[in-house]
Structure 1
Amino acid sequence: MNISIIGPGLIGGSFALDLKSGGLADRVIAVDTNPEHLSRAIELGLADVGASLEEAVNCSDLIVLSVPVDKIKSLLPLILDMVVGSNKIVADMGSTKLSIAKEVENHPARGRYVALHPIAGTEFSGPDAALCGLFRNKNVIICDRELSDRDALDTITSILCSTGMNISYMDSASHDLHVAYVSHISHITSFSLALSVLEKEKSEESILTLAASGFESTVRLAKSNSNTWASIFLQNSEYITEVLDSYLNKMNLFKKYINEGDSDALIRLMNDANEIKKILNK
């Protein structure tokens, strides 16, 4: 099977490494608008060759989109146009799904498309960030599976299982709501804390001296690629603003109780928050 990776960065490149190490692809073809990234992907062994988008689609059995979600939204219809009437399969690995799903819901080749979101990653980006085994024992969401052709779904499922991923199923709207709460707000929190600290702590030495592991783990996500996350925030804006309203409400409660010196209210609030461990420790 020839497989094209559109965007061989952290996610696409890691997937390519798993495909190659597991013998799941006869040939991996990389597509990237950045010539340096494309050359680096081949140099690192993420792909066997580079190609233009049209060349890659023409010579591939499976085309995987792993670019920012706004780019997926514009590229996916074009790629589906190219695969109409064929047995080629198209998948994406974007972190939002609903706006992409709406973009192609009436496309004649919709059945050849499988919508994926692997729940894995690091704060790094680009081909050098790719890691073999990144997806092992990680969850992957397949969205709107009933809209994908059976053979396309079976092929993708087999590949995902071979790379060690645990598959779950959701509709696109539910997916976007849930990731807004458990993923997207975490990144906004991290970016916001980093900005607050940089604004107040002008001295780099002070930050390094006083920073403990809790601070480091909280702001780690602020090192994430800004282009990728701006795209995610805007594509999932409805649900993210809903989550932000809830989050800011809780932040204001902390501010209120601290200003009032209300220890009992603070303890109740934090005890309620401690209930999350019942979910995370399962």
Structure 2
Amino acid sequence: MKNIYMIGIGLIGGSFAIDIKKNNPDVVIHGISRKDETLNKALELNLIDKKATLDDIENADLVIVSIPVDATVKLLPTILDKISDDGLVIDAGSTKEEICKVVEHHPKRRNFLACHPIAGTENSGPTAAISGLYVGKTNIICEVEKTTFKLQEKALKLFMDIGMRIRYMDPVSHDKHIAYVSHLSHISSFMLGKTVINKAKNERDIFDMAGSGFASTVRLAKSSPAMWTPIFKQNKENVIETLEEYINNLQQFKELMQKDDFSEIFNEMENTNYIKQILNGIK
């Protein structure tokens, strides 16, 4: 792959650019963004080599789309219209069902690979891009059988070269499972942050009393609302289902507190400690 076009050059796209360039110094990375200041910053940080527009995509060997999922749904058919027969388009969206549906019958569906790299931080924009973000991380690929085999091979090599693990899943299952392990975590963090802000009006009190546990739990509340609102919208049904279960568990915990049933609270927490074994196993 000689010419790679990045549509969206923030944390996800920019981090891809850094490590792709590290492994392939001869690759020319072109940046596409609605905001010229984003492209200027990406050039300044050496994330991209050149600015580009959507009309230039016909020259692309690979297009990586890492913009909010609602924008991806709108733009993806146009991108596929412009890609050459030998070019590949991949996305990095946190939802997959709507994205896959919008190009289901596109004449160049075979030139698209639906991906979700499970990696990131709470930061955004070109300055958030970091080297090694994807090392040891899982990249979920959906509907791989709908992508031309030779293009699959190129993408898989690129992912493995930057240290990613690959897992395959259908879009419906992906969106259901990711609602539990990612989307609910972000909602919990946002709402914990809101609760503390509403209760502790004195910002100095929050700063002085907040320990590392609070900081790590509320870290995701610093994430971009412009990115996460469309994710919640696209995965609305699954997110509501997870919220109902989560709220039910919170309600049960509250009732145990009201009954002074701390032995059962101990049991609940002890049983949940099993999560340590699961998480240790995926590190």
State TM-score, norm by structure 1: 0.97
Alignment of 1:19 onto 2:5 = no
Structure 2 residue aligned with 1:186: 185
Equivalent position SS for 1:99 = helix
Question: Aligned-pair distance for 1:178?
Answer: 1.2
Cα separation, 2, equivalents of 1:25 and 1:15: 15
Gaps of 5+ in 2: none
- Is residue 66–residue 93 contact of structure 1 (8 Å, CA) maintained in 2? yes
Give distance in 1, aligned partners of 2:234 and 2:151.
Answer: 26
Whichever residue aligns with residue 70 of structure 1, its letter is D
For residue 281 of structure 1, give the secondary structure of its aligned residue in structure 2: helix
Moved over 4 A (4+): none
Q: Distance in 2 between matches of 1:276 and 1:138?
A: 19
The number of equivalent residue pairs is: 280
* 1:19 and 1:25 in contact (8 A); partners too: no
Maintained 8 Å contact 1:136/1:165 = yes
Equivalent-residue separation in structure 1 for 2:205 and 2:29 (angstroms) = 47
**CA distance in 1: counterparts of 2:275 and 2:227, whole angstroms:** 28
What corresponds to 1:227 in structure 2? 226
Q: What do you get for the CA RMSD once the two structures are aligned? A: 1.1
CA distance in 2, matches of 1:267, 1:32: 51
Change in CA separation of 1:24 and 1:173 when aligned onto 2, cut-off 3 Å: farther
Matched, 1:46 2:55: no
Tell me, yes or no, if structure 1 residue 82 matches structure 2 residue 82.
yes
Unaligned runs of 5+ in 1: none
CA distance in 2: counterparts of 1:138 and 1:254, whole angstroms: 33
Once the two structures are TM-superposed, the CA of residue 271 in structure 1 deviates from its matched residue by: 2.1
Provide Cα deviations, 1:217-236, integer angstroms capped at 9, x if missing partner.
Answer: 00000001110011111111
Match of 1:68 in 2: 68
| TM-score calculated relative to the size of structure 2 | 0.96
Alpha-carbon shift at residue 19 of structure 1 (Å):
1.1
Q: Which residues in structure 2 correspond to 1:64-213 (within 5 Å)?
A: 64-83=64-83, 86-213=85-212
Q: Which residue of 2 aligns with 1:272?
A: 271
The residue aligned with 1:59 is 59
The 1:20–1:257 alpha-carbon spacing in structure 2 relative to 1, beyond 3 Å, is same
Q: How much has 1:32 moved relative to structure 2?
A: 0.5
Percent of aligned positions that are identical: 45
Structure-1 separation of matches of 2:273 and 2:131: 35
Deviation readout 1:130-159 (Å, 9 max, x if unpaired): 001111111111111111110111110010
Q: Shift of residue 25 of structure 1?
A: 5.4
Query: Is this contact kept in 2: 1:2–1:25, CA < 8 A?
Result: no
Question: In the TM superposition, what is the alpha-carbon distance from 1:24 to its structure 2 partner?
Answer: 6.2
